[in-house]
Each structure stands twice: as C-alpha cells, then as structure tokens.
Amino acid sequence: MKTKIFFALLFVVSVLTGCSDNDSLLPSEEELFPTKTNTELDKQLNELFRPYNTIVEYRYIKNLIPDDWYYIYPVEEELVVPMAEFLKAYWIGPLEAGSSRKFVVKNFPRMILLIGSSAYNMDGTRVTGQAEGGTLIRFTEVNDYNIEKEKWISGQLETAFHEYAHILHQTFGFPDDYRDITPDSYTKGGWKSLKLKDAIKLGMVSNYACSAPEEDFAELFYFWIVSPYADLEYVFNEQPTGGLKPSQVQDVVEMNAGRRIIQKKLLTMEKYLQRIGVDLQNIRNDLQHRLGHEE
C-alpha cells in the first residue's frame, strides 16, 4: 500500500510540474489521507471494545504503519467485525478467565490496528503482528480470516498472546529470575538460522525466543496457552533414549536437558504471573475449551 501511494504521488507531481507551476494544484495531506468519519462499522466496534477503553482501527492510516513495512493492503470491511468478535472471544475471554475483567481493562492496549495483508520487512522477513509500547497491537493477514482454518487461528492468537505478554512485563517489570536462567543463550541476529530442536537444546520453545529474554518470555507465554497438547508434549516432556541408535542418543540427551530448562522457565513464569494476579493455566484451559480441544 505504501509503495503504491509513493509511486502515485510521483506520477501526480510529474504531471502537475509539466502543466503548471501552481503548487495549489498538488493534493494536500488531508486529501490523500482524509479524516475518518464515524460510520456504522465504527459504532459496532465501539460497542464491542468500549468497555476496554480500546479503539479498533481498520483504515489505512499512514502514521500507524511502521516505515519498514512493505506490501501493505487494508482489511476488507466485511471482515472487520468478525475479526473483532474473534479477538474478544478467543483473546479477551481467556484473559479474563485467568485474571478478571478489571485486570484486563486496566492492562489492555489502547488501540488495535487491523491490516488485511501480510507485512514484510526490508530483509524479506514476514511480520505476523507487532506491539508498540504496550499501547498499540497490529494484526496482519486479517483478509485471510477463516474460523475453520487452524493455521490462521493459531497465527492470530500467537500475535495476541505474544504481544500481551510484552504488555505484562512492560507494565509490571521483567522478572529477573527468569532472565537469569539462560543469560548467555540469546543471539540477536543468529536466531533465524536455528531449527526448533536447536532452540529446545538452548531451553527455548522457538527459534525467535532465542533472540532476547523478552521474546523468550513472550514466546513461552503464547506457546503454553495456544498450542495443542501434542506440541506441548514434544517441547516440554523428556523423551526416552532406549532403542535409539548411538548417533541419535546425544541429540535426545541435549534436547532433554533443554526441556528441563523450559520447564524451569514455565514454573518461574507461573509464579511471576500469580504475583501480579494472572493464572496461566486458567487462561490455557479456557482457550482450549473455546477451541474445542478438550484435554
């Protein structure tokens, strides 16, 4: 979207320069990005999110899109309310089950931005969502809305709970005892080349968790809440080495050592969350029930 607007502006400027020297013919910022009006759709969103003092924005607003995001398309308007209802049911609902309405209202982003397409950074990496200072969370790929598609559901919930974890530690302070578990295992630039088993050996639930302690915390928070039991079992539970080839044993031994670290991190996180008034297991239980994944 931003790229298209840029080329459109170049075209307008070149045409007008060839025809006239009158700068008043150039479109103003207000004309290019008109002030929004309070539509029926806005009223519906207000009804859904007013109790949380949150604005849901679905229009393309220039200053709400990161400068390094490319190939952005706005959300289709008919998908805005379904997406908002999805977030309220599968994100806010479980959070309230694990804390309280009062807690969520007090510790919820002031704005949610819905983006229709995926977003890409300059290096070609795909962005699935982003938070900004605990006040704004951006959701991408809303045009792919499909409540029957597990991959889409898990991707949106990953963004929701990952970014909410950042809100929690930014609000209540990052737990030092969590940071101290694997202080030397993070790699800001090298995480992209790691496979899941490499991350597990380091005591992390994903390769992105290896990038920084805060991302490790957010990834563990989302992973524990959103993942089906089979995924939890692989990442958290130690695997037997009996019957394996000698060449395979060392790999499993190293992964089991990492799994013990992940278990320690989970316990540390649970204690931290309990201190601030959040029950991690209740959040998971409520979400899995809503998803129909009874355990």
CATH number of domain containing 207:
3.40.390.70
Same domain, 143 and 46: yes
Q: Which of 162, 194, 226 is where one domain is finished?
A: 162
The verdict on residue 108 lying in a domain is: yes
Q: What is the pLDDT of residue 92?
A: 98
136-180 pLDDT, tens digit per residue, is 898 999 999 999 999 999 999 999 999 999 999 999 999 999 999
Same domain, 210 and 293: yes
Same domain, 22 and 41: no
Same domain, 50 and 140: yes
What is the C-alpha to C-alpha distance for residues 35 and 25, in angstroms, rounded to an integer? 20
| Of 138 and 2, the one with more pLDDT | 138
The verdict on residue 278 lying in a domain is: yes
| Of 208 and 15, the one with more pLDDT | 208
The verdict on residue 248 lying in a domain is: yes
Same domain, 151 and 226: no
Same domain, 60 and 125: yes
Q: What is the mean pLDDT of residues 30-45?
A: 70
Q: What is the pLDDT of residue 280?
A: 99
Same domain, 94 and 212: no
Average pLDDT, the chain: 85
Same domain, 79 and 94: yes
Same domain, 61 and 152: yes
The verdict on residue 239 lying in a domain is: yes
Same domain, 1 and 21: yes
The verdict on residue 169 lying in a domain is: no
The verdict on residue 168 lying in a domain is: no
194-238 pLDDT, tens digit per residue, is 999 999 999 999 999 999 999 999 999 999 999 999 999 999 999
Same domain, 6 and 47: no
Distance of CA 253 to the CA centre of its chain: 32
Question: Which residue bears the tokens 């029957």?
Answer: 148
Which of 73-77, 89-93, 115-119 has the weakest average pLDDT?
115-119
Same domain, 246 and 200: yes
Dihedral angle computed from the Cα positions of residues 73, 79, 82 and 85, in that order, rounded to the nearest 10 degrees: 30
Q: 199: which strand partners?
A: none
Are 127 and 158 within 8 A, CB to CB?
A: no
What is the C-alpha to C-alpha distance for residues 240 and 256, in angstroms, rounded to an integer? 9
Question: Into how many domains does the chain fold?
Answer: 3
Q: Which domain holds residue 16?
A: 1-33
The verdict on residue 55 lying in a domain is: yes
Q: What is the band of 73 on the pLDDT scale with cuts at 50, 70, 90?
A: confident
